[in-house]
Amino acid sequence: MSTLTGLEKLTLEQALEMGEGYVLGFSNPSYASFFMDFFDLDIYEEKYHHASGSKANRMRALWRLENDYLVGQVLSTIFDNWQAFRNFDSPEQPPEDAVQIARRLRESAPV
């Protein structure tokens, strides 16, 4: 279980544009591929099904179920590859406060 605070979750939800159930520019297939290719993780596994099963809700389930290091790695990978994953109307760079949250998570937990 990650140690994300309520405020951090809100910051990340805004950065990842999760308001409508989406996560940035990911389609269902690209979301599945992202998690499998980078983390050997099946994000569409039943344990990540939360509420509607949308991409945003699956990300929320990941935050709830997984450790700080893995959550930090997922977020950092998205932020480090922002240009590949962002929507066409997303900011040019990820929000710095969201990047700092990912860094905190990665650095607060041993590998």
Query: pLDDT (tens digit, 9 = 90+) per residue, 19-47?
Result: 899 999 999 999 999 999 999 999 999 99
d(CA 79, CA 58): 18
Query: pLDDT (tens digit, 9 = 90+) per residue, 74-102?
Result: 999 999 999 999 988 999 999 999 999 99
Q: How high is the pLDDT of residue 109? A: 64
Residues in CB range of 100: below 8 A, 6 or more apart: none
CA 1 to chain centre: 14
* Residue 76 within a domain: yes
Q: How many domains does the chain have?
A: 1
Where residue 111 falls among pLDDT bands split at 50, 70, 90?
low
* Residue 88 within a domain: yes
* Residue 1 within a domain: no
Structure tokens at 67: 């450790």
* Ramachandran sector of residue 40 (left: φ over 0; alpha: ψ -120 to 50; beta: rest): left
d(CA 35, CA 43): 6
Q: How high is the pLDDT of residue 17? A: 96
pTM of the model: 0.93
Question: Exposed, middle or buried, 11 (CB in 10 Å: 0-12/13-18/19+)?
Answer: middle
- Give the residue numbers spanning the domain of 39: 6-108
Q: How high is the pLDDT of residue 16? A: 97
